[in-house]
Structure 1
Amino acid sequence: MTTAPRAFAPAPAPGPDLTGFLTEYRKVSRSFYDGVLTESELARWRARQLTTVLHHVTDRSPFYRCHLAGVDIDGVTPDDLTALPFTTKDDLRREMHDVLSGPVAEASVYYETNGTTGTATPCPRGPKDIATSNAAVEESWRRLFRAHFGDRMPVVGLMGPSELYAFGDVFTAVTASLGACHVKIWPESPRVGFRKALRLIEELGVEVVVCAPALCLSLAKAALHYGYDLERLPVKLFLVLGEICTPQFAANVSTVWPRAVVRLALYGSQEALCIATGADTGRLHLSVPNYLAEVVDPDSGRVLGDTGEGELVLTMLVDGIKPLIRYRTGDLVRITPASPGAPLPGPEIEVVGRIADRITLGRARLYPGQLEAAILDGVRGCLGYQVVVERASGGGDEITVRMDLLPAVADPDATADAVVRRLRALTGASARAVVDTALDPVTHTGSFVSWKAARVLDLRTDPDRAAVTARQVAHRYAITT
């Protein structure tokens, strides 16, 4: 669609409006995390905030003023959002600043998406956005740190992707609020690198590393290259985000780093902020005060409910600088009620992978999580892997899994044989696994482009845009320079 020329409504009066909102929000949030927020109180909050946000975006966003034209927004309820059209990534890329509910000057800080697979889109955040999104992270980390370190605070190493991402600012603010020391040691920065990052981890006694899952293994590979003993480095807890992290991947990391465990830190995005936060069970919990979540069929868009498996659709409940309405995230998730006695409240979300990362292998069409689980189930000491797919000479698919295993792995042949058996059973295709200590550097790019671009080399077709981009940036992730 084409919107009218950008025309933002006058800014709301500062001061009391923000103060009053944050006072009420903190009351609702505190009650939610303390487990005393009643269903009726939550329902009132969600209904009021939904109406507030819908008026906010139709008054102040040029895109939504047109996109929601003709909708009786006062008649829309949290239980039925189907009168509202979806918002897609294509909408965000096409409309750019017109999606914002106010000019950038009203924001506190400007970020944007990385633009590796499409146009980088603006993702500014205002005071309401920052306070409400960070509140969920702070609550998660407070409980995680208490579980692992008791009453003391660890030194936290932040390993983020780029300065235009919210990563550094969010976790700087959260560690400051908790009273923990943090250090920004981004090994992918040319001014830091893996060698300096490892020196700082050792010298500063960094016990918590916040990073993408792939970086857990890249950091271990670099440590071995530079002569470090992984059992003597102080890291005890990896808090991971930014890409899928299956239980099998997390279990493998703990065999590579003998003193460390892996926990999901959060699930979110530049556009949608902090959607869910991690508990010490390894599960993610929806930030309920901030979102209405729907599960839809990824192909038809048919609503499946607020639990089950499908594409995650979000409606944001905070009237900040860029609230999104029925935003199709492109992520396949499983949403289930919180387990009894869970350390955090709210429905549990398992991220299976990007819809666009589905891949057909043999007779199966797999999501990233399914493929990774089959490869790493029961595997120990794996520093990385890559799946190479090509056409077999007699027809059909031929799968080769290249695995970088620690020298201490007792029986690498048995590990490879088990991987082959699982893949053959899952796909029906020809498969083999080989040990390769010199994996393709693209595997270290992780989520910077996409899981599939980093982990799967599909020789059956020409490389797509994501695969080309991952190849172009792979040199930034070199662990030996």
Structure 2
Amino acid sequence: MTADGTAGTDAFLAAHRRISDSFHDGTLTERALADWHAERLTAVLRHVTARSPFYRRHLAGVDIEAVTPATLGALPFTTKDDLRREMYDVLSGPLADARIYYETNGTTGAATPCPRGARDIAASNTAVEQSWRHLLRTRFGDRKPVVGLMGPSELYAFGDVFTDVAATLDLCHVKIWPESPRVGFKKALRLIEELGVEVVVCAPALCLSLAKAALHHGHDPAALPVKLFLVLGEICTPQFAANVSTVWPQAVVRPALYGSQEALCIASGADSGALHLSSPNYLAELVDPDTGAPLGPYGTGELVLTMLIDGIKPLIRYRTGDLVRLTPAPPGSALPGPVVEVVGRAGDRIPLGDGLLWPAELEAAVLTDVRGCLGYQVVVDSAPDGGDRVTVRMDLLPGTARPDRVAAAVTARLRERTGAHSTVVVDTDIDPVTHTGSFVSWKAARVLDRRSGPDGAARTARQVAHRYAITT
């Protein structure tokens, strides 16, 4: 019997379902969750040291039975470089034990294998299922909306995850990713209108490019049936979400999930706009992104995850490269688990003038109180005096009230945060690279830094930008 064999998997999934159900209905005690964490940590450490060639070496000499959640920080990190170097040796078992094979897109390095087994899929999707039950009940009551899935399926988990969740909830869905050569924006918009698609699952940038495409193809976003965007794949600040609702006046933006190919569904979204950690599936730590020093259970730092599902590729103390803010769930939260606010990738910090801004801080400076913005790009040049000169290019809906006031407010906020000289240019011909954030990185999509040559991520974003043309 393999480690993911039927008998063992059935027993695990039954136990996980009991924990997950009690976690989400509020009956799981702190002690019971702590016991689950301790039990699962030991099981996963046994699993990886027995079955993964990488972890057998990486954790050599560690007394696995003595490790607890409280002492987990004594173990070495698993880094993205480890995953790229070790590739299939990270797997805890042969690939044939997996249910399906995915891999990272390889935009910032070698594509790494990300297979998922039956345990991985069921445990991860359970959190998404619970989130959707809450989100759809809040927005639609007992009525079942038609769901449009606007994301990749080949070698990527997006299509399979949301297809599975839609099937579990008995929802009709249609796959209408505009980037697909079989779809395009024109057909996607026709199907949204004809099928009455009310929920669209997509990357945040697609909310805006879909609106721009709608205008190009003769549709009025306000007249289309979309009422809820569930977003994932890149940061989505409250300011961005508020702006989208001015472009799509019948719709709101809510987070679908925060996750990755490597780490699966880390957190799922609530109607409050908050993301909540899938606590039955992970032990989370915060560390200083520069030094790796521990920062405690709450606060702001790089997220480090230990996966508690003994599937095909559990990761131990995995440095995600994401800067997040972890806070306890507020009393009365619709979903349990600590709140995860994604600030940006550790490598996406942007030196501007006197400041060092995280992506979420820069986006907030650009979009606070902005209405009708169909896209934006921040262009950074070296000023003659040796400082920085910032130009924000903004595509505003025709008829937007007082664009001069919008420009003045944006430049004032940027000056306050960075001290840099800033200007705003209203331009309907925004660089299509701005729509590539979920494929490469938010920074590569939104920031054109001309103070130095483009890095690998920026070059990759430029190479794929043509796929996102709204005229398709």
Cα distance, 1:383 vs structure 2: 0.2
- Indicate conservation of the 8 Å contact 2:127/2:268, yes or no: yes
RMSD over aligned CA atoms reads 0.8
The Cα offsets for residues 54-91 of structure 1, whole Å up to 9 and x where unpaired, read as: 00000000000000001111111112212210000000
Give the AA of the match of 1:457.
L
Runs of at least 4 residues off by over 4 Å: none
The Cα offsets for residues 217-244 of structure 1, whole Å up to 9 and x where unpaired, read as: 0000000001101111000000000000
Segments of structure 2 that go 5 or more residues without pairing to the other structure are none
For residues 247 and 4 of structure 2, what CA distance do their matches in structure 1 show? 54
1:428 maps to: 419
Which deviates further from its counterpart, 114-123 or 155-164? 155-164
2:203 maps to: 212
Pairwise mapping of residues 26-425 of structure 1 onto structure 2 (< 5 A)? 26-425=17-416
Give the AA of the match of 1:75.
A
1:183 counterpart SS class: strand
Work out the percentage of aligned pairs sharing the same amino acid. Answer: 75
For residues 52 and 67 of structure 1, what CA distance do their matches in structure 2 show? 17
Give the AA of the match of 1:64.
Y
For residues 3 and 92 of structure 2, what CA distance do their matches in structure 1 show? 11
For residues 136 and 242 of structure 2, what CA distance do their matches in structure 1 show? 20
Give the AA of the match of 1:105.
A
2:438 counterpart SS class: helix
Find out whether 1:469 has 2:460 as its counterpart.
Answer: yes
Cα distance, 1:445 vs structure 2: 1.1
Change (3 A) 1:14 1:162: closer
For residues 277 and 264 of structure 1, what CA distance do their matches in structure 2 show? 7
Which deviates further from its counterpart, 142-151 or 162-171? 162-171
1:349 counterpart SS class: strand
Segments of structure 1 that go 5 or more residues without pairing to the other structure are 1-9
For residues 4 and 352 of structure 2, what CA distance do their matches in structure 1 show? 56
For residues 76 and 375 of structure 1, what CA distance do their matches in structure 2 show? 46
1:77 counterpart SS class: coil
2:133 counterpart SS class: helix
1:447 counterpart SS class: coil
For residues 101 and 282 of structure 2, what CA distance do their matches in structure 1 show? 22
Cα distance, 1:15 vs structure 2: 2.3
Normalised by the length of structure 1, the TM-score is 0.97
The Cα offsets for residues 226-263 of structure 1, whole Å up to 9 and x where unpaired, read as: 11011110000000000000000000000000000000
- Indicate conservation of the 8 Å contact 1:71/1:83, yes or no: no
Cα distance, 1:408 vs structure 2: 2.3
Change (3 A) 1:99 1:304: same
1:293 counterpart SS class: strand
For residues 346 and 169 of structure 1, what CA distance do their matches in structure 2 show? 25
The Cα offsets for residues 125-156 of structure 1, whole Å up to 9 and x where unpaired, read as: 00000000000000000010000000011100
For residues 55 and 109 of structure 1, what CA distance do their matches in structure 2 show? 23
Normalised by the length of structure 2, the TM-score is 0.99
Give the AA of the match of 1:171.
F
Give the AA of the match of 1:388.
V
The Cα offsets for residues 76-119 of structure 1, whole Å up to 9 and x where unpaired, read as: 11122122100000000000000000111110000000001110
1:7 maps to: none
Give the AA of the match of 2:31.
S
The Cα offsets for residues 176-213 of structure 1, whole Å up to 9 and x where unpaired, read as: 00011000001011221000000000000000000000
1:3 maps to: none
Give the AA of the match of 1:357.
D
1:6 maps to: none
Cα distance, 1:312 vs structure 2: 0.1
Cα distance, 1:27 vs structure 2: 0.5
1:400 counterpart SS class: strand
Cα distance, 1:162 vs structure 2: 4.6
- Indicate conservation of the 8 Å contact 2:148/2:175, yes or no: yes
What is the aligned residue count? 472
For residues 469 and 441 of structure 1, what CA distance do their matches in structure 2 show? 13
2:437 counterpart SS class: helix
- Indicate conservation of the 8 Å contact 2:120/2:312, yes or no: yes
- Indicate conservation of the 8 Å contact 1:215/1:446, yes or no: no
